[in-house]
Structure 1
Amino acid sequence: QLLGLALACIGFLGSIISCALPPWRITKTFRDYEMPFSVVEGLWKRCVISPTGEMECMGYEYMLLPLDMKAARGLIITAIIIEVLGILLGVAGRNCMNFVPDERQRRKMALTSGIAFLIAGFFVLIPVSWTTNTISDHFEPIESFNHPDYLLLKKMELGAALYIGWFTTVLLFLGGGLVCSSFFRRNGTE
């Protein structure tokens, strides 16, 4: 149970980091053989990185935020809230703590904590998978400025926050599963 709670706490930190980091997806745009400029999109802001390395960030206006990012904001924040509740229930349901004197109630709190971590894992998995699915990993020609001679190539890549989100999902599933299995192992017939 303690190992499961520790993994879920690390997953909680991963959820916060994934929510706060800007690089959810990176769009690199090339023109002929020039150096690319990149657009880094996150849940809260969009940054443009010039070929010289200069970075300019700005927040989204809500209507300009892509649909998958809107959903990701809500789902990740919901996951963080569920994880906080799961951690509180997990700590209160520990055998070494005496917040609740009744052993049966402590076991039920631990089970509820494990289920909360599993649910939070799904709430992280959905936006990470959705955003990954929207990223095309090939070069896509686009015409710019309505000029046929001015051809740009665009390539989208996964950002670091998505990798952290995948790792967080695994930690939450493992932690929730271990906490739930400790309930069934100790409980036996219930």
Structure 2
Amino acid sequence: MANTAVQLLGFVLSLLGFVGTVAATLLPHWRCSAYIGSNIITATAYMKGLWMECVWHSTGIYQCELYRSLLALPQDMQAARALMVLSCVTSVLAIVVSVMGMKCTYFAQGSLIKSPLVMSGGICFLCAGLLCLTTVSWTTNDVITDFYDPFLPSGMKYEIGLAVYLGYASACLSLCGGLVLCWSSSGARPQRRPQRQRSQPSSPPPYINNTCPAAPPYNPTEALKGNRAPSLCSASSSGYRLNNYV
């Protein structure tokens, strides 16, 4: 029961990280205009994202325009696009694998494959978090480098936007959730289904020899030899003769 709760905690953290990663990928607030030097006009604000560039007016109107050409973008933005999309796809794969491997689902219930599935889902979440973290760190480095570049005009300098901070938080959630899932799968013991005991055939009854011993041969001549009554005309037995009684 405790292991199931740990798996649910890791899955919820990873799911929140996935939602944050998708939001950070779509939002245009990666770079926001910096108000420094002569650029003190705050009536408009410029924002640049991975997919569009927006202008915010003080009247509350947003005007966004999608990038029409992929090849016309800088190489760092192209790489950031690819990494964030790959992070989202990896998170989707991790969600599917983790759901199949969690103990609270009915897929392969009681099978030995449950623990490896949770481990695979946790590793995929870790990879997704690392991809997102790499992208936002790279963007942060570019923004800071351009901001402190003395040869770059003030109107072309940007600050770190809210989408970058959201990407940091999402990456941390994905990494924490992946670690929890991996830890829960490493300490889990797979439960085997109770196997039905096959009814063993009963031992055969002891062999009883019903054959009777053979009867002795029947000899009627020998059986009647000593049972004949002596006749008066014949010689008497035991040495007596009939003439002795006449």
Q: TM-score, normalised by structure 1?
A: 0.84
**Corresponding residue SS for 1:64:** coil
Q: Which has the higher contact order (CA 8 A, sep 6+)?
A: 1
Match of 2:199 in 1: none
Q: How many residues align?
A: 180
Match of 2:73 in 1: 65
State whether residues 94 and 121 of structure 2, in contact with CA within 8 Å, keep that contact through their aligned partners in structure 1. Answer: yes
State whether residues 139 and 153 of structure 1, in contact with CA within 8 Å, keep that contact through their aligned partners in structure 2. Answer: no
Match of 1:98 in 2: 106
Deviations 1:85-119, CA, capped at 9 Å, x for gaps: 11111111111212113432011000000000001
Any stretches of 5+ residues in structure 2 without a counterpart? 1-6, 191-246
**Corresponding residue SS for 2:34:** strand
**Corresponding residue SS for 1:71:** helix
For 1:118-137, what aligned pairs fall within 5 Å after superposition?
118-136=126-144, 137=147
**Corresponding residue SS for 1:63:** coil
**Corresponding residue SS for 2:163:** helix
State whether residues 39 and 155 of structure 2, in contact with CA within 8 Å, keep that contact through their aligned partners in structure 1. Answer: no
State whether residues 133 and 171 of structure 2, in contact with CA within 8 Å, keep that contact through their aligned partners in structure 1. Answer: yes
Deviation at 1:27, TM superposition (A): 2.6
86-95 vs 33-42, greater mean Cα deviation: 33-42
Asked if 1:157 corresponds to 2:159, the answer is yes
Deviation at 1:76, TM superposition (A): 0.9
- Return the match for 1:35 from 26, 36, 41: 41
Match of 1:74 in 2: 82
**Corresponding residue SS for 2:112:** helix
Match of 1:19 in 2: 25
- Relative to structure 1, is the Cα distance of residues 30 and 183 closer, same or farther in structure 2, using a 3 angstrom cutoff? closer
**Corresponding residue SS for 1:165:** helix
Structure number, greater radius of gyration = 2
Any stretches of 5+ residues in structure 1 without a counterpart? 144-151
State whether residues 115 and 186 of structure 2, in contact with CA within 8 Å, keep that contact through their aligned partners in structure 1. Answer: no
Q: Percentage identity across aligned positions? A: 33
Deviations 1:140-172, CA, capped at 9 Å, x for gaps: 5656xxxxxxxx554321111100000001000
Amino acid at match of 2:180: L
> Per residue, is there more strand in 1 or in 2?
1
Following the alignment from structure 1 to structure 2, what is the Cα–Cα distance between the partners of residues 168 and 33? 32
Match of 1:83 in 2: 91
Match of 1:166 in 2: 168
Deviations 1:112-141, CA, capped at 9 Å, x for gaps: 000000010111111111100001244856
Q: TM-score, normalised by structure 2?
A: 0.66
Q: CA RMSD in A?
A: 2.4
